[in-house]
Amino acid sequence: MSQNLGELVRGMNVALLTTACPDGSLRSRPMVALEPEPDGTLWFFTREHSSKVEEVEGHEEVNVSYADHPGQRYVSVSGKARPVRDRERMRRLWGPALLAWFPRGLDDPDLALLRVDVDRAEHWDARSGAMVPVAPGRDLQGARG
Amino acid sequence: MSQNLGELVRGMNVALLTTACPDGSLRSRPMVALEPEPDGTLWFFTREHSSKVEEVEGHEEVNVSYADHPGQRYVSVSGKARPVRDRERMRRLWGPALLAWFPRGLDDPDLALLRVDVDRAEHWDARSGAMVPVAPGRDLQGARG
């Protein structure tokens, strides 16, 4: 049964964002995971002045990983990221869970969003021991499965 | 207090390996995490005929991420990976936990190792909300901290 991205990452509140540095090396860090948009687009809060924003401005391709070890759920999202400075969208996406990561809240002048447009989503299939395609959005359900 | 990589990832039995594809996109998948060598070098079992082996042969830079959500422990390792076909080392590194992932065990002719030489290791510091350097090995403890 094909599942879409939103269903597969439900309840996973932290994702790992991997970016590429100018020297080709790859770095990761945890991010508060918000619910994907219906088409699979991902949004994250970030600090505008941060190495990850510099890294995506140099190389837009990123990976977003979700890991639920007890549930053996692993999801890999390959996409393109860019910083977005949209205060109205920030207000819509903000939730109290973000306060632990951004204690100054929406008043933080360094707060920004990172938008990730999904090119490929896969999830771990324990039976076959392989990653299998996931349809990013509801409209595409089954299209890549 | 500076901690080395082996201490920081203790008890984290699954890591996420992110590789770069020829088109620049980044993919990840879960891997059984073995204890790092004293100098930080990481070893993973893999299938020799797999996309991750193809990907590291095209672009040796990888990221290995460890995530312990309840403990808020997040570790990022940037390094260079290469497949290694060394049956003697496989026998030394093999353990029963690997059977769930490689049911044919050491007799699997497609079994190989992936060696990751560490260039940079970082861990999430919840207080500052930033990644901070980790000394990869015991001998280097504190050298990058």
Which chain B residues are Cβ-neighbours of A74 within 8 angstroms? 14, 16, 28-30
Evaluate if residue B89 carries a pLDDT over 80.
yes
Pairing label, strands A73-84, A111-125? antiparallel
pTM of whole model > 0.90?
A: yes
What's the pLDDT at B36? 96
Indicate yes or no: CB of A25 within 8 angstroms of CB of B119.
yes
CB contact under 8 A, B25 and A61: yes
Split at pLDDT 50, 70, 90, the class of B68 is very high
Residues B78, A25: C-beta atoms closer than 8 Å = yes
| Residues making up chain B, counted from first to last | 145
Which of the four pLDDT bands, split at 50, 70 and 90, describes residue A144?
very low
Beta partners for residue B26, in sequence order: B20
Across the interface, which of A27, A29, A63 has its CB nearest the CB of B27? A63
Three-state DSSP class for A145?
A: coil
A20 contacts B28? CB cut-off 8 A: no
Predicted confidence (pLDDT) per residue in A12-62, tens digit: 999 999 999 999 999 999 999 999 999 999 999 999 999 999 999 999 999
Distance (Å, rounded) from C-alpha B79 to C-alpha B119?
A: 5
Q: Yes or no: say if B46 and B31 are a contact pair by the CB < 8 Å rule.
A: yes
Q: Does A4 touch chain B (CB under 8 A)?
A: no
Best probe of the B interface among A28, A116, A118, by most B CBs < 10 A, is: A28
Asked if residue B121 lies in contact with residue B75, where contact means CB atoms within 8 angstroms, the answer is yes
Overall average pLDDT of the A79-85 stretch = 98
Mean pLDDT, chain B, rounded, equals 92
Residue pair B114/B43 in contact (Cβ under 8 Å)? The answer is yes
pLDDT of residue B113: 98
Q: For position B43, what pLDDT does the model report? A: 98
Give the B window 78-137 contacts with A, CB below 8 Å.
78, 101-102, 119-120, 122, 124, 129, 131
Asked if the model's pLDDT at residue B17 lies above 80, the reply is yes
pLDDT at B138: 64
ipTM (interface predicted TM)? 0.92
CB–CB of B14 and A78 under 8 A?
Answer: no
pLDDT for B1? 47
Structure tokens at A121: 């989503």
pLDDT of residue A32: 97
DSSP β-bridge partners for residue B27: B19
pLDDT digits (tens, 9 = 90+) for B112-131: 999 999 999 999 998 888 99
Whole-number percent of chain A with pLDDT over 90: 86
Closest CB to A28 among B61, B65, B129: B65
Of A28-42, A61-75, A102-116, A130-144, which range is least confident? A130-144
- pLDDT at res. A127: 87
Asked whether residue A140 carries a pLDDT value surpassing 70, the answer given is: no
Closest CA relative to residue B76, chosen from B143, B139, B12: B12
Please report the number of interchain residue pairs, chain A to chain B, with beta-carbon separation below 8 angstroms. 104
pLDDT more than 90, % of chain B: 86
Arithmetic mean of pLDDT over chain A: 92
Best of B9, B12, B18 to mutate (most A CBs within 10 Å, chain A): B18
- Smallest Cβ–Cβ distance between B28 and the set A13, A18, A20 belongs to A18
At residue A2 the predicted structure's pLDDT band, cuts being 50, 70 and 90, is low
Write down the pLDDT at residue B83: 98
CA distance A26 to chain B (A): 5
Q: What is the dihedral of CA A65, A69, A73, A78, to 10 degrees?
A: 10
Of all residues in chain B, what percent carry a pLDDT higher than 70?
93
The yes-or-no verdict on residue B136 having pLDDT over 80 is yes
CA distance A89 to chain B (A): 23
